[in-house]
């Protein structure tokens, strides 16, 4: 399919600071693959406007008046399960991180992240993948360590295939994903192009029947590729 026949990703911006929304809109609309279809200043406004705007992705702040991003995300995913939520916030602590994921967010990014990370995150969650800011992926490892979720390598099963189904290169990519590296960082480390890394990650998800970064991290820990 040609690039110009692919419909743009419909994005809605939810943030209580107008200057933030304006800056994001200007930046995102410079990418022809993204169309900003609307804005909201809080969670309540977002829920009211989603039915008419039909966004593919809602970029959601957390701390907002009237209705915060946590409650808005829970309600939005209940009412519009096909709409992906990407948290974009100043908060980089565990509590908000896990609460947003539990509420149904597909991605989590802090406002200190690079602009390119926002584009990558939107594209990822729009197609059903998860996106976690690499510097925050450590929370998943720390959580498994605290819970002692794994004490021995995982036995292959229908739910968790053997590591042998992956090629050597795919195992390398999986390890680096589980360690929290972004696609560009993995590409630089392995001497590959970002597109090649993305293709490897897609094949890994297909072979393992896992469809999120958190699931890949759990698998990598349980088969012993990385340790908490």
| Chain centre to alpha carbon of residue 155 | 28
> What is the count of structural domains for the chain?
2
pLDDT classification of 31: cutoffs 50, 70, 90: very high
Identify the pLDDT of residue 5: 72
Q: Give residue-wise pLDDT tens across range 50-100.
A: 999 999 999 999 999 999 999 999 999 999 999 999 999 998 887 888 888
pTM: 0.62
48 and 26 inside one domain:
yes
Give the domain extent around 208. 139-222
Give the CATH number for residue 65. 3.40.50.2300
Identify the pLDDT of residue 29: 93
Q: Tell me the CA end-to-end span of the chain in Å, nearest whole number.
A: 42
83 and 17 inside one domain:
yes
160 and 119 inside one domain:
no
126 and 143 inside one domain:
no
Give the CATH number for residue 214. 1.10.10.10
Rounded percentage of the chain residues whose pLDDT exceeds 90: 48
126 and 73 inside one domain:
yes
Is residue 228 included in any domain, yes or no?
no
Q: What is the side-by-side strand order in the sheet with 9-14?
A: 34-40, 9-14, 57-60, 84-89, 107-110, 131-132
Is residue 91 included in any domain, yes or no?
yes
**Mean pLDDT, rounded, of the chain:** 85
Identify the pLDDT of residue 142: 61
């Amino acid at each position: 399919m040609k690039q110009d026949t692919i419909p743009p990703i419909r994005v809605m911006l939810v943030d209580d600071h107008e200057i933030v929304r304006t800056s994001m809109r200007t930046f995102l609309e410079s990418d022809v693959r993204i169309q900003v279809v609307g804005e909201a200043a809080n969670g309540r406004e977002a829920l009211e406007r989603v039915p008419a705007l039909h966004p593919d992705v809602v970029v959601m702040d957390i701390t907002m008046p009237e209705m915060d991003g946590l409650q808005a995300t829970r309600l939005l995913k209940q009412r519009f399960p096909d709409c992906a939520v990407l948290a974009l916030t100043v908060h980089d602590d565990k509590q908000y991180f896990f609460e947003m994921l539990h509420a149904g967010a597909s991605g989590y990014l802090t406002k200190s992240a690079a602009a390119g990370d926002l584009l990558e995150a939107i594209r990822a969650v729009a197609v059903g993948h998860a996106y976690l800011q690499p510097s925050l992926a450590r929370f998943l490892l720390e959580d498994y360590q605290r819970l002692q979720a794994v004490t021995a390598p995982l036995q292959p099963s229908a739910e968790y295939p053997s590591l042998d189904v992956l090629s050597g290169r795919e195992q390398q990519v999986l390890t680096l994903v589980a360690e929290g590296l972004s696609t560009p960082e993995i590409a630089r480390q392995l001497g590959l192009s970002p597109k090649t890394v993305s293709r490897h990650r897609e094949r890994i998800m297909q072979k393992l029947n896992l469809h999120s970064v958190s699931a890949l991290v759990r698998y990598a820990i349980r088969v012993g590729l990385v340790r908490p």
